[in-house]
Homo-oligomer: A and B are copies of this chain.
Amino acid sequence: MNLLLKEIRHNPLLWLLVFVPAVFAGVSLVPERHTLLFLLSVLAIVPLAALLSHATESVAAKTGDSVGGLLNATLGNLTELVIALTALAAGEYMLVKASVAGAIVTNTLFMLGASFLIGGIKHHVQEFNRAGARLQAGLLFLATIALLIPSAVAEVDSVGSAAFTQSLSVGLSVLLIAAYGLGLVFTLKTHREEFASAEKDEGHEAPWPIGLALATLAGVTVVVALVSEIFVESVQGASAELGMTPAFVGFIVVALVGAAAEMASAFSGAWKNRLDLSVGIALGSAAQIALFVAPVLVLLSYVLGPTPMNLQFWPGAVVMMLFATMTAFLVTNSGRSAWFVGVLVIMVYLVFAMTLYMLPPRVQ
């Protein structure tokens, strides 16, 4: 417990934990102030995500490389998963899908681009391991194709058959999880030496003892779930009051909030000229959302949701995911980076964010 308090004192991000009691106080005192509750829950989720991330890494560090890698690979986006599950249980499928698509786009464009920019401000030219970037970009490309197919077929042909889209979504989910699992075997078992530099040192802070880590993991997950519930309930009212489209909130705001902790690691890696780490976090996290979180949500919607959820996205989101993946492939292909590469990638992100911000609210 002392260690946890020391960590909190040490890490300014964790001072935001004060917003956790604030959001619970808010929901019982002023349940109608949607914008206030929305902002408080956003501010509360950021430090909780940082705690979850550190706890996962600590458990991973204690359980050995393979099990640890597996843990990181399944729980690394636990915050996004919990938020999405809460929205799923509330039947807010539009928000679930927007946050999945937004997490993919934000990780591949904003997190990657800002890492290149931050690293490029300090270092003239940076190099990184292309093998890891290529694998993640390949996985992302596969996932984008899989996520694009139901929308493409349904749009183009006006099939309209909900049964077809639903069973296709389940089949694609199984394929994606299988590909993700085989990818873990590849990076953690058979070809781990190829990905060495991208993996080492990720948990650069001292790991917690296993008991504290497991307790934090369990406890914080519950708190995140409770805060997420307030967040999901307030998001629609708040977006209306703030004049933001629900598409913008789901795509941009939720994605930035959920990934705040990983961004801190990625940016610090870039600044220290360890761009392998930044690229690995950004693309790895995007691939995990696309190949693990999204299909798990589809499968869990049969248990948790009011009706089954499918993988048919808003066509604009599909276009954005596709171009985000292509951008990530193009800029990581050479294994070199400079500040302007970061600017280019962030510009693509700004194009998308601006479009979503200006979109008439009817279209989501």
Instruction: Name A's B-contacting residues (CB within 8 A).
Output: 124-125, 130, 134-135, 137-139, 141-142, 145-146, 148-150, 152-153, 155-157, 159, 161, 164, 167-168, 171-172, 175, 178-179, 182-183, 185-186, 190-191, 194, 315-316, 319, 323, 326-327, 329-331, 333-334, 338-341, 343-344, 347-348, 350-352, 354-355, 358-360, 363
Contacts and interface: CB of A to CB of B under 8 A. Distances in A.
B355 A149 contact: yes
Nearest to A355: B149
B161 A340 contact: no
A339 B186 contact: yes
A156 B186 contact: no
A341 B183 CA distance: 9
B142 A175 contact: no
30 contacts: A137-B330, A138-B344, A139-B344, A142-B348, A142-B351, A145-B348, A146-B351, A149-B319, A149-B355, A152-B319, A153-B316, A153-B355, A153-B359, A156-B315, A157-B316, A159-B359, A159-B360, A164-B359, A167-B358, A172-B351, A172-B354, A175-B350, A178-B347, A179-B347, A185-B340, A186-B338, A186-B343, A190-B339, A191-B338, A329-B330
Contacts of A191: 124-125, 338, 340
B330 A186 contact: no
B359 A179 contact: no
A-B CB proximity, top 3 nearest: A186-B340, A156-B315, A157-B363
Contacts of A172: 351, 354
Contacts of A150: 355
What number of copies of this chain does the assembly contain? Answer: 3
Nearest to A172: B351
Contact of A330 (B138, B156, B323): B138
A1 to B, nearest CB: 43
Given A159-B363, A164-B358, A179-B347, 18 more contacts: A124-B190, A124-B191, A137-B330, A138-B330, A138-B331, A141-B327, A142-B351, A148-B319, A149-B319, A153-B363, A156-B315, A156-B316, A159-B360, A171-B354, A172-B351, A175-B347, A186-B339, A333-B333
A343 B138 contact: no
Nearest to A291: B347
Q: Of A135, A149, A171, A175, which is in contact with the most chain B CB atoms at under 10 Å from its CB?
A: A149
Nearest to A334: B134
A346 B339 CA distance: 34
Nearest to A336: B131
Contacts of A142: 344, 347-348, 351
Contacts of A190: 124, 338-340
A344 B333 CA distance: 18
Given A138-B331, A164-B358, A340 B175 contact: no
A361 B145 CA distance: 22
Given A142-B348, A146-B351, A340 B182 contact: yes
B351 A145 contact: yes
A145 to B, nearest CB: 5
Contacts of A347: 142, 175, 178-179
B358 A171 contact: yes
A348 B139 CA distance: 10
A61 to B, nearest CB: 26
